[in-house]
Amino acid sequence: MLKSSLFKQTFFLLLVIGILDGLAHAWYLYWTVWWFDVIMHFSAGFCVAMASVLVWQYIFDKNISIRKSVAISFLFVLTVGLMWEIFETFFGIEQLSDGYNYVMDTVSDLILDICGGILGSIYAHKLINK
């Protein structure tokens, strides 16, 4: 598993996301560049999907179908995305009192996570079947 191309690319993407998040906090990019959060949520969904396909294939199903890849990734990405939104609310990063803005931000974040996840699962499936 550690020598597979999918693992290496997933790890690299996770590293890039971590570096970008660190820079974003240092330079206040989440608050000053409105589209930066879009890129981060899409990339995170892509990365979680790749990781979920990798782990599922390694543990359960060596010959995973594209349909199963997308379904598993959808569930993993949605779960991680919801947990992230709960984390943000719990620690006061987002405020429920923002009302409509809170709902729109949360929904858009989850949609971006899922879109990245679907593309990430398709990409991961293509890498597995090379």
**pLDDT surpassing 80 at residue 12:** yes
Q: What is the pLDDT of residue 130?
A: 80
pTM: 0.94
Q: What is the pLDDT of residue 97?
A: 78
- DSSP codes of every residue in 59-110: HT-TT--HHHHHHHHHHHHHHHHHHHHHHHHHTTSS-GGGTHHHHHHHHHHH
Residue 26: pLDDT band with limits 50, 70, 90: very high
**What is the span of the domain harbouring residue 95?**
5-128
Residue 109: pLDDT band with limits 50, 70, 90: very high
Q: What is the pLDDT of residue 80?
A: 98
Q: What is the pLDDT of residue 61?
A: 75
Q: Which residue is associated with the tokens 């409509």?
A: 100
Are the CB atoms for 1 and 21 separated by under 8 Å?
no
Are the CB atoms for 118 and 112 separated by under 8 Å?
no
Domains in the chain, number: 1
**pLDDT surpassing 90 at residue 67:** yes
